[in-house]
Structure 1
Amino acid sequence: MTDTTVAEVLAELAALEDPKIREVNEKHGDEHGVNLGKLRALAKRLKTRQELARELWGTGDAAARLLATLICRPKAFERAELDAMVREARVPKVHDWLVNYVVKKSPHAEELRLAWTADPDPVVASAGWALTTERVVKQPEGLDLEGLLDVIEAELKDAPDRLQWAMNSCLAQIGIGHAGHRARAIGIGERLEVLKDYPTPPNCTSPFAPVWIAEMVRRQDAG
C-alpha cells in the first residue's frame, strides 16, 4: 500500500464506520464510529507513513487522526508541530493517543512537558501532566515531587475534568512509586475526595487516589 492516498484511506475508514460504535463513543466526546481493532489492523497494513500521517491529521477527522498517530514517525515531528497538534486535538481519544503514542516518544517531550503543564488551556495542561506522570513512573530523577504535590493539593479539586484526571493520575503514581511521599499523597486524596465516587466496574481499580495507591502497593508487595 505504498501509494495509498488520503482519499482512499478516508474511504476505507468510512466503510468501517459503525453507527452503534459512534453512538457509544459520542457519549464520551469521541466523535468516531470505527472499531479500534479494525483501525489498528489498517495501520498495520499501511505501516509507517509519515507524510500520509500528516495529511490524515490535516483532515481534522477523528478516525483519520487516530490512524495518523499509529502510522507516523514520532521523532520526525518538530516541537512546534506537536504543540499545534495537541492544541487541535479536542477529541479525548485523539488527545490520549497523540500524547501516548507520539509525544511521549518525541525528543521534544521534556520541553513540551514544562511548557504545557502551566498552560492556561486545561486540555493542553492535561497533556503536560500526562508527561509528568510518565516521568514520575519512569524517570523521576530531577523532579521536585514535593513541589508537584503542592500544586496538586492546591489545584486538583477545582481543575476541569480532563486536567483533574491527569493531575489525579500523577498524585496516584507518586504515592504508588515513591514510599517517602506515599502518606502525603494518600492524605491529599483523602482530604480532596476527588473521584471518590467514580463508578468503577467490578475487577477494576478505582481512580480515587487512596484506593488506587493502596491496591497497587498491595500488588507490588504480593508480587
Structure 2
Amino acid sequence: MTTPDHQSPAPQPPASTARDLIYRSPLALVAGVLLLVLVGWLGIDALIGGHGRTPWFALAGLILLVPLVTAFTLRPAVFSGEDRLRVRNPFRSVSLPWGEVASVRSGYTNEVIANSGTKYQLWAIPVSLRDRKKAARRQSKADRPGRSGGFGLFGGIGGGLGGGDHDGPTRAESDRIVDDLRTTLERRGKARSAQGEVSVRWAYEVIAPTIAGAILLLVLLATG
C-alpha cells in the first residue's frame, strides 16, 4: 500500500455563472434616442450653417444637453445579480451587496433602502399610477364571484363579448419587478458571498461635460 506524497486540493464549488438581470425603462430608451437625434440634428446644423456667435451657442448647447439627455434616459439601469444589486442612476452608481439591503420599497417611487437607512431611488424602474389602476381593476374583476359566467350579451356565457380589462397581469410592471427584487433579497440576503460594503461612484463622465457646457453657455450669455 502506497501513501501519496501530497494531497489533492479540496474541490471548490463551481463559480456562479448566472448573469445579472437588467431592468430598464423601454419608454425612456426610446425617448432618449429620439431626443439625442433631435438635439444632434439641430446642434450640428447650427454649427455648420450658423453665423456669428450661433455656432458657439450650438456647441455649448450640445455639450450641456447630450450628457443630460443620456443621463436621464439611456443611463439608468438596475442590475440584479446573485451577490449584489447595482443601481445606475443619472449621476451616480450604487453597488449594494444583498446582505446590506434592508428592503426594496414601492410607493410613488421605487427605492432600495440600505441597512444604514440610506435610500437610493431606482430611476430605471419608474412608477406608473395608470398601470397600477389598470392592474387593480383587473384584479378586482378577477376576484368577483361568478366572473366566468358574467352577464354578457349572450346570456352571460363566457363573460360577454371581448375581454377588456379582464385579461392581462394583475400587477403593474414596476410592481412585479420590485416583487422579483424582494424575492432575490429574501433568497440571497444571508448568503456568505452576498456580504460586503455599499459603494457609491459618481458619474463624472456625465457631470464634467454638463458643468463645462453650462459654464460655456453662461460665459456666452454674459459677454453677449
Which fold has the larger relative contact order, with Cα–Cα distance below 8 Å and residues 6 or more apart in sequence? 2
CA radius of gyration, larger in: 2
- TM category (shorter chain) comes to under 0.3
